[in-house]
Structure 1
Amino acid sequence: MTSTRLLEPAAEPVALEDMRAHLRLTSTEEDTSLAGYIKAARSHIEQSTRRALIAQGWRLYLDAWPDGRVVRLPVSPVLSIDQITVFDLEGTPVALSPNDWTLDRSHHPERLKIKLGAGLPASKMLAAEIDFTAGYGPAAEDVPEDFRQAIRMLAGHWFEHREAGSELSVATLPHGLDRLLSTARVPLL
């Protein structure tokens, strides 16, 4: 099982104005750097928690249906299942109907149950692809505040400690970030 992001987020959870206010900057001279730190902080937090913050498109590749035909999606929260495609022995793609599966949002990571008899992947490799949209929503306001605060903390830390070095503050993540994210981690599959 492999997954890849197909569509990057259209926005970031923290606006430049918010980041400037957090850092008490009055000038826009550092905006290019700040935008990079915000994006890097979002990416780091998404990877460490296995969550998508802003809506983004993903594809999960499967070589076969798992036991019980229950597929655990690798990124949470799932906003929608966009398409499920299975491949026959000749590699011909066949899209499943939404009636052929059920999305269970009560678990993290979310699960998909494929109905018996629906989509019998026959290929020995790349038997199925599941396209889905993950994230809290398309806008920064959709992202829970604890994630937004974590992005501000991490981006601010990187802004203040730009150069590599041996100081403890440079070698570690900001104090409190781990505690802020500890309850938000989605379990490994």
Structure 2
Amino acid sequence: MILNEETKVPLTALPVQAFKSHLRLGTGFGEDAVQEAVLEGYLRAALAAIERRTGKALITREFSCRIEAWRDVCGQTLPLAPVRQVLEMSLIDVDDNLTIVPADRYRLAGDAQRPRIAPRGTQLPTIPNGGYAEVFILAGYGETWGDLPADLAQAVMILASHYYEYRDQSAGGTDAFPFGVSGLIERFRTVRAFGRIGA
């Protein structure tokens, strides 16, 4: 399964001003626009890192899942949570012919950790030989920063601060998070055996 981000987190959803206050940065030096672009970059990097580590979409946006074979025809676990809506399912054959699956043939089995797409009948539609299914979903806690659970929002802020403070140092290949961040996200983590994020 390949997970792709179809729409980006809008700038208006990022707490750039709050992040600036968190870092105790001054204003009025004529470089605010440049500085805010830099801060936006660190917030986006931290948000992406938290999403990868937890398997949760923080800000609501659209994703697509390419699935070459159902793991279970009675219900396919999705690689991201929380899923708010299944927007569309389509089947693509080996010749790239696309067939949209009617919405009355499947449903979202919501779950805070492991949401699934389930059939309304006995099983999910058959994926063509050599083809794949593509499922478009809307996932995330909400459209604004205030919709996030407080501990996830704080984890992003701390991690973005860490990236900002150590911006001149190489990560050295480590994937370690600061201890405070790891503690804040621990309850949101799930073991993800399915899916990888594509470009």
Give the alignment's TM-score, normalised by structure 2.
Answer: 0.83
Q: 1:171 to 1:188 in 2, by over 3 A?
A: closer
Structure 1 residue aligned with 2:130:
124
- The one-letter amino acid of 1:129's match is E
Question: Secondary structure of 2:190's partner?
Answer: coil
Verify the 8 A CA contact 1:9 1:54 in the aligned structure 2: yes
| Pairing 1:37–2:38 present | no
- The one-letter amino acid of 1:160's match is E
Structure 2 residue aligned with 1:146:
151
Fraction of identical pairs, as percent:
25
Give the gaps of 5 or more residues in structure 2.
Answer: 194-199
What are the superposed Cα offsets for residues 79-98 of structure 1, whole Å, 9 maximum, x if unpaired? Answer: 11000001356542221222
Matches within 5 A, 1:59-74: 59-74=64-79
Q: 1:173 to 1:145 in 2, by over 3 A?
A: same
Structure 1 residue aligned with 2:179:
175
| Pairing 1:161–2:128 present | no
- Structure 1 stretch displaced more, 2-11 or 170-179: 170-179
Give the alignment's TM-score, normalised by structure 1.
Answer: 0.86
- Structure 1 stretch displaced more, 81-90 or 14-23: 81-90
Q: 1:182 to 1:151 in 2, by over 3 A?
A: same
- Structure 1 stretch displaced more, 22-31 or 95-104: 22-31
Q: 1:52 to 1:11 in 2, by over 3 A?
A: farther
- The one-letter amino acid of 1:184's match is F
What is the rounded CA distance, in whole Å, between the counterparts of 2:16 and 2:58 in structure 1? Answer: 17
Q: 1:174 to 1:125 in 2, by over 3 A?
A: same
Shift of 1:107: 5.4
- The one-letter amino acid of 2:166's match is H
What is the rounded CA distance, in whole Å, between the counterparts of 2:90 and 2:20 in structure 1? Answer: 44
- Structure 1 stretch displaced more, 156-165 or 45-54: 156-165
Question: Secondary structure of 1:155's partner?
Answer: helix
- The one-letter amino acid of 1:143's match is L
What is the rounded CA distance, in whole Å, between the counterparts of 2:128 and 2:8 in structure 1? Answer: 31
What is the rounded CA distance, in whole Å, between the counterparts of 1:95 and 1:120 in structure 2? Answer: 13
Structure 2 residue aligned with 1:96:
101
Q: Give the CA RMSD over aligned residues.
A: 2.5
Q: 1:135 aligns with which of 126, 137, 140?
A: 140
